Chain A
Amino acid sequence: MAATALPRTRGHARPSARRPLGIVPTGVLVLGAIYTLFPVSWVVVAATKSKAELFSTSTFAPGTGLLSNLADLFAYRDGVFWLWLLNTVLYAGGGAVLSTAVSTISGYTLAKYSFPGRGLIFNLLIGGILVPSVVLAIPQYLLFSKAGLADTYWSVLLPQILHPYSIYLARIYSQAAIPGSLLEAGRLDGAGEWRLFRQVALPLLTPGMATIFLFQFVAIWNNFLLPFIMLGDDHRFPLTVGLYTLLAAGANQPSLYNLIITGTMLSLIPLIALFLTMQRYWRTDLSGGAVKS
């Protein structure tokens, strides 16, 4: 079996001596970074501008209106923006926790047990990658309507738990990180299958689970189509749908631009913070997947 050895992230022995500067690669990457940071830095600066400054001062000149913009945003429709933020945390956090749990145990089972129908179940679950979200979102809405659950938190939370790619990743981690001999030894000691999963497999899978959690958290946080279709009451909106309605209401009223820009800026902060603090897991996972592929 391929997965008996513990994989090690293959480190590159970086030579300790200073190498010469590669002007081309460094230059290309710096240009790329400027391109990606440009709109983000613009929205941060623009959020500090007052209504008048937004259209008059030069693009990257900081303004004086940040506090009043924030006050306006939080006053908008009795603070519905806060609610959008809380809802998003709930959808993304709750959905990602459930999704990680389901993906982990499914991937582990598909990797570590042989049983009739394994190939079929794997192909069914993974085949979901190819199903366009539109084929799902509209009938999901209709079915939730029939069950009386459309326009509820459940209607956004439940359809996002099953995530084929996470199951695929969990299967790869399990193959790579859990030596079959360890499970075998546990069985000889009389441990039950659930206990083996909880006490032997889970600790070994933790880094992979963190990555699956992050992927799913970001995917749900960024999702627009599903909540846009499912929800009608703006008290249950996540940020993406909320910001869209803010734009749809304010596109023709430049006086509302500050509100939209400040809202966009605030909506970036939680995810970028998570993203920067969890750097380690973005990398572990992806290289873990890459080594096996």
Chain B
Amino acid sequence: MRSPKKGARAGRAGAVPYLFLAPAMALFALFMALPIGYTIYLSLRRTKVSGLGLGKGARTEVFAGLANYAAAVGDGELWAGWLRVIAYGALVLALMLGLALVFALMLDAAHVRLARLTRISIFLPYAVPGVAATLMWGFLYLPSLSPFGEHPFLSADLVTFSMANVAVWGGTGFNMLVLYTNLRAVPREYYEAARIDGASELGIALRIKIPILVPSIILTTVFSVIATVQVFTEPTTLRPLTNTISSTWSPLMKVYRDAFVTGDLYSAAATSMVIAGISLVLSFGFLRVVKNRAFGES
């Protein structure tokens, strides 16, 4: 309710809210808006080489229009990277979120034992850096060290699965905890009523708990999609151990290579805008659904 008193108070607060928000807005401007603007600027530029390209004035930066975007969209290697990442991402999302959901439901089940111990154990990989997780699994995949025998885990056929395993291992626990804490907030009476009506534990999980979890599942999916599209750490860390991962395995790795190895900042900028666009498109559909429920703008 909006009373006159409240209006008066808001007036008295005056500049205070803006002062309190000043640090965040300054950081936003410097480290978010400015870099994004700079990326867009760079993506529209290219180097013009005059003469033999020697000497100081021979290379100048000129406006390139959408040429870099055309090159990025028409780049076969980038699309191959997208296909690899989509296959990898589908695998990771299905396994990680599926396992997270199963574990959350099991933790919330009626007669579970060892719940605390197993919950902490499954959440533990959250505290393990992606580099360390990839190193551990990477060594376990090496035939000379692997306890699983001589399986070619890092061969061209299996490397996607092996990499997906690292991500599933690292990400399941966090998603499980998000879902589980949501379940814990549900009043137990819901389930008692269902039990009195003769519902089984499985029936309760399928008909009551999963529908309750839908908004959180969507939210965790959005975040996982964003993270997966940008996969970089796992393939980069695994690369020294195998020759089946190219330096352009994922789109983000290609951006890194273009920017820092090839030195073509302009096409790197265009490619990173394309990646941003695709991850926005991928998550936007989910987010529209989520916005009202989970981000609860009040």
Contact = CB atoms under 8 A, between A and B. Distances in A.
A187 B131 contact: no
Contacts of B32: 128, 131, 136, 162
Contact of B182 (A161, A244, A271, A293): A293
A80 to B, nearest CB: 16
Contacts of A79: none
Given A267-B132, A271-B128, A142 B103 contact: no
A138 B39 contact: yes
Chain B, interface residues (CB within 8 Å), range = 35 or more
Given A247-B240, A283-B181, A162 B28 contact: yes
A105 B265 contact: no
B31 A140 contact: yes
A101 to B, nearest CB: 8
Contacts of B298: 2, 175
Contacts of B279: 130, 132
Given A20-B111, A108-B20, A240 B132 contact: yes
A247 B237 contact: yes
Interface stretch (A63-71, A202-210, A272-280): A272-280
Interface string A93-127: 00000000111011011100111001101101110
A122 to B, nearest CB: 8
Nearest to A274: B127
A101 B280 CA distance: 29
Nearest to B287: A130
A161 B27 contact: yes
A135 B35 contact: yes
B115 to A, nearest CB: 7
Chain A, interface residues (CB within 8 Å), range = 35 or more
Nearest to B279: A132
A234 interface: no
A115 to B, nearest CB: 4
Given A132-B275, A229-B256, A29 B185 contact: no
Interface in B171-217: 172-173, 177-178, 181-182, 184-185, 187-188, 215-216
Contacts of B137: 39
A100 B219 CA distance: 23
Contacts of A106: 20-21, 23-24
B147 A59 contact: yes
Contact of B269 (A43, A138, A143): A138
A271 B226 contact: no
A197 B121 contact: no
Q: Tell me the interface secondary structure of chain B in the complex.
A: helix
A52 interface: no
Given A29-B122, A33-B121, A293-B182, A22 B112 contact: yes
B17 to A, nearest CB: 4
Given A139-B39, A229-B256, A240 B112 contact: no
A56 B178 CA distance: 42
A276 B126 CA distance: 12
Interface in A1-55: 2, 10, 12-13, 19-22, 24-26, 28-30, 32-33, 35-37, 39-40, 42-43, 46, 54-55
A102 B111 contact: no
Interface string A253-293: 01001001100100110011011100100110011011111
B16 interface: yes
Most B C-beta atoms less than 10 A away, residue of A28, A125, A252: A28
A252 B243 CA distance: 12
Given A162-B28, A247-B135, A264-B135, A282 B123 contact: yes
B177 A113 contact: no
A118 B13 CA distance: 14
B229 interface: yes
B90 interface: no
B185 A10 contact: yes
B127 A292 contact: no
Interface stretch (B60-68, B70-78, B81-89, B289-297): B289-297
Contact of B10 (A113, A267, A271, A293): A113
Contacts of B31: 136, 140, 158-159, 161-162
B117 interface: yes
Nearest to A29: B118
Given A10-B184, A244-B236, A142 B265 contact: yes
B134 to A, nearest CB: 9
Contacts of A264: 132, 135-136
Contacts of A105: 20-21, 23-24
A134 interface: yes
Nearest to B148: A59
B185 A287 contact: yes
Nearest to A192: B16
A271 B130 CA distance: 13
Contacts of B28: 124-125, 128, 162
A248 interface: yes
Contacts of A2: 298
A178 interface: no
6 contacts: A2-B298, A36-B173, A105-B24, A129-B226, A240-B233, A247-B135
Given A32-B118, A42-B140, A244-B237, 5 more contacts: A115-B18, A138-B269, A138-B272, A139-B42, A142-B265
